[in-house]
Structure 1
Amino acid sequence: MLLADLFSMLLRLAELAFATITAALTGVYLHAVRGSSSWDQARFIYTEVVAGLSILLAIIWLFPFSGSFIHWPVDFIISVLWFVAFGLLVNWLHGSCGYVFDWTGIDINSNDNCPEWKANIAFSFLSAICWLVSALLGIYWVHRHRTTYANTAPAGTTKGYHNRRWYRSRY
């Protein structure tokens, strides 16, 4: 399972990078509009909170331990939170910069904010995908190890985890 550990670490690094970029782009916008109503900026505050939570969890779970795979429900929930943030940002843009994933005609040195918004939306979407893949990898890992353990249970015992105390577990 070295390959799964390595892939999980790469996913966590990608999650960390994408959340950091999204937090930075959203933070720049929130700093620029400080003093305005918090209700008007709720979708950006939500995105910033999801990005901060993602950064924290990605750093904690970055280290490749087999226990990091059992957090797949949290990975799935974070993925859903990122998809919601993606939807809120796309809804706010509301076609004012053209189609969301149309990257043609974007000039980096222009005074237009469309490239920043499209980058923010793209990185929130990529973060949601990475968290979803991480959850699927965790489900696969947990399912594989449960069936492996159930098939190697000692003779005379019932198969499964319920016959061992927590302090006598193999894994």
Structure 2
Amino acid sequence: MSQPLKIALILAFAALPLLEIGLLIRLGQLIGIWWLAAIIIGTVILGTFVIRRVGMSVFERALSRLGSDREGFSPLFDGFLQVLAGLLLIFPGVISDIFGLILLVPQVRLLVIRTGLLKLVSLFHYQAEVSRETFRAAPDVPPAEAEGVIIEGEYERVSERPLRAGRAVQPRRSRS
């Protein structure tokens, strides 16, 4: 991810709460404070219902499918997206409610899983390749001459001390 894109994402996440507050104020002026409060409470109840309905059942189904040779990641990501939709509905705000309601549509979740899963796999593959290259030592530097922190100390292997006769395990030492 490029540096300008990272900065744009940080600014977008910083501006999101301000947009949410502005839209809530404007919506409250248009429809009235009591209707706005009813909508907010309704979306919180809907979000709580979604999270309770999904719960651990999706994760249990995904684990059972992983055990049997069927595809197990799709139901896992579908459950994750349903929980995310519930969380977005719980947060007060117009934008988060819209995204939460959109994620409740099964076809949208399927589209997100198909496109997002491929990007996620390619991202992890790229990260794995980068991390492999990071930990490889340079071929021209011998391991003994490599720079690094050397910590010297003494140790005693507790498991190699002889046991007292008649006892299988030594008692713990008191730390007082």
State the TM-score, normalizing by the size of structure 1: 0.35
Q: Give the structure, 1 or 2, with the largest relative contact order (CA under 8 Å, sep 6 or more).
A: 1
Larger Rg: 2
TM-score (norm 2): 0.34
